[in-house]
Structure 1
Amino acid sequence: MTKITLDKKMVEYAVYGGAVLGGGGGGWIEEGLQIGNLAVEVGQPELYTVDELKDEDLLVTVSLVGAPAAKDKFLKPIHYSRALELLSQKIGRPIQGIITNENGAGTSVNGWFQAAVTGIPVIDIPCNGRAHPTGSMGSMNLSELSDYVSHQAAVGGKGANFMELSLTGSLDKVATMVRKASVEAGGLVAVARNPVTVAYAKANGAPGAIRQAIEVGEALLSHIGESAIDAVVRKLGGRVVTEGIVTDFTLETTGGFDVGTVIINDSYELTFWNEYMTIEKNGERFATFPDLIMTLDARTAEPIVSAAMAKGKQIAVIAVPKENLILSSTMRNEKLMKPVEDVLKKSILQYCF
């Protein structure tokens, strides 16, 4: 089947499966369910495979940018559609499809509301099949095109923090400005950005990754407790690295990112930069971004994003090799991975490449 009319069951599967594939980032489950359910209430958003479109058709990425744990963040559905409207006005060309920047609890359903109110379909070729911290990681290697001009629109915040802006320039400069705007808006903005052709997305995106999220969500929600964790691990070809109590947890929101560590049973250390980046014990590395590392409640199997972690939680940590994920070309770009080392002060590249 190449077209799916999205419904409430698909919302639930995509949000929970996206939460797993988000690897600790990609927004909050509650907010994903809220915007996804609103989408199927106000319209009939459709999910197309990329084969439904012509190579020259234009796709636009929609995303959330900022720190999920920011206390003053404020987003409403109107912000999502307004960002798309601003970008459409800027580029002055018809948009044939909407794609999300990544899989995540909130981000796997990015674009569903916009599709519901505009009639433009969601295309199953996200910029990445897992969540990632930087805007460049979600830009399908456009950062490698020296002549690419980035168009981005961002909307969010309320009252004195309200931000609405449309930017044009080099990818890095515009992405940096949008990240700064998210801080000024209270922590989070809805973004529409970077028009590309279907042909370009096919070469650099992650076709089929939304279907993968839906299938993972179905595996998770069709089971209870430990058996649900086992079902997810089997589905993705991963493993449970450890299970135990969170004995220490640190989180700092800085520069529009959540950065911190999780310690389990005083021995295993998880690091995160929005998403979980490493898990190790006594210097032994078990998984490294873009491998998938994810935490779930050990008893209920509820996915726990990094920003919702707390001391005393009983969690299971799963890891899935990157080879088992549907990833974009950016996850093989060494230059884009280098900032992870700079932020975490840990070796990353030697484990990735």
Structure 2
Amino acid sequence: MKRQLTHDDIRAAVYGGAVLGGGGGGFVERGLRTAELALQVGTPELWTADEFRAEDLTATVALVGAPAAPDPQVLPTHLLRALELLRRDLPGELVAIHTNENGAETTINGWFHAAMTGLPVIDLACNGRAHPSSVMGAMGLHLAEDYRSSQGYAGGKPYAYVEGAVSGRLEATSNVVRRASVEAGGWVGVARNPVDVGYAVKNGAPGAIGFAIELGQRFLADGPVGAAQHLGGEIVATGRVREYRCEQREGLDVGVAVLDDADGTTLHFVNEYMALDLAGDRRASFPDLITTFDEAGQPLASADVAVGEQVSVLVAPAANLLLSTTMYMPDVYAPVESLLGVAFAPETRVLADA
């Protein structure tokens, strides 16, 4: 199915994405602004994957960086520049684009590109929830020995602006882009990893954008409880933040938030919430969805949590999400566990059963 994205889609996509961001995936206000701009300058279209041939070429558009970074800037022009840098060196014609993940800003990744270039956005994400590392959103390409990653990136305020194109092994090129985000003040827009649509469907999360829009509609109607019910989850804790630590490490936000409730609810995050402990026991671990809401019931990014603020915590099981094949690969968890100093990766067997 092909359809034009509308103003009715914007709030639902952004707020549904904010819930699925699990503490990461960008910020609501910026997501709303970018989506509105896309509809002002053009008519972006969302196509289901079955509208393409399996061999058609698509590429991922993404934001890379640390949400709590002090001085970031990624403008719509930077997004287009990153795509231009990628397309310049491609061996074939790019037919479509898709987002890396669901989040308040990342669910609408590609809308502005589509409005300006005429390329359709595929109703597909590399992962149906937000994740902290580029490898987690690479649909298993890091295991393909003959795959050569190409990435274009751009971002930063005028005195810190960086742009470039890099190609090579996926993990090496991803590290270059992550470092560029640090030099740019915290964020860069990225276009990367061209693949056949057939590969993206098999290894990514087809239907992820529609999933976020439906979830957003439920959240806007019924708040956090409605979102939890829609995802087959629950609100497991509410309390005020008595402790919060966050530092930027390797271009990511790494930290912990502790509530003052009877269970001493503890949330560990690397951009997204990776683990949730209640009364000293592990209640949920990534890729389970752990999302915080403020006292007004609005999705709250991990970077925006503050001491003294009342928050509620939603948990939904991974089995109820649209997840990519990378969530079933233990090796992608090790670098994030090392940054956090907390073990949380699910066992391979459990993931395979999900």
Which TM bucket (shorter chain)? over 0.9
Match of 2:339 among 337, 343, 347: 343
Q: Does 1:253 align with 2:248?
A: yes
The structural deviation recorded for 1:351 is 5.6
The structural deviation recorded for 1:230 is 1.4
Gaps of 5+ in 1: none
Native 8 Å contact 2:285 2:346 kept in 1 = no
Distance 1:87 1:350 in 2: 35
2:155 maps to: 156
Native 8 Å contact 2:291 2:313 kept in 1 = yes
Distance 1:134 1:97 in 2: 23
1:270 maps to: 267
1:82 maps to: 81
Aligned residue type for 1:268: T
Deviations 1:272-311 (A, max 9, x none): 000001110233111000000000124x210000001101
Gaps of 5+ in 2: none
Q: Does 1:324 align with 2:320?
A: yes
Deviations 1:62-111 (A, max 9, x none): 00001111111111110001111111111042111110000001100000
1:293 maps to: 290
The structural deviation recorded for 1:144 is 0.6
Q: What SS does structure 2 have at the residue aligned with 1:279? A: strand
Distance 2:47 2:345 in 1: 35
* Identity between Structure 1 and Structure 2 (%): 48
TM-score, with normalisation over the residues of structure 2?
0.96
Match of 2:311 among 315, 325, 340: 315
The structural deviation recorded for 1:50 is 0.3
Match of 2:238 among 228, 234, 243: 243
Deviations 1:175-206 (A, max 9, x none): 00000000001110000000000110111000
Q: Does 1:109 align with 2:108?
A: yes
Extract structure 1 runs of 4+ deviating beyond 4 A.
Answer: none
Aligned residue type for 2:339: V
The structural deviation recorded for 1:350 is 4.6
Deviations 1:106-161 (A, max 9, x none): 10000000000011000011100000001100100000101100000000012231
Q: What SS does structure 2 have at the residue aligned with 1:164? A: strand
Native 8 Å contact 1:241 1:286 kept in 2 = no
Native 8 Å contact 2:330 2:347 kept in 1 = no
Distance 1:305 1:314 in 2: 13
Distance 1:103 1:194 in 2: 18
Q: What SS does structure 1 have at the residue aligned with 2:322? A: coil
1:133 maps to: 132
Distance 1:75 1:152 in 2: 16
CA RMSD, Structure 1 to Structure 2 (Å): 1.1
- Written as runs of structure 1 = structure 2, the 5 A alignment for 1:1-353 is 2-223=1-222, 228-265=223-260, 267-298=264-295, 300-350=296-346, 353=350
Task: Give the number of aligned pairs.
Answer: 347
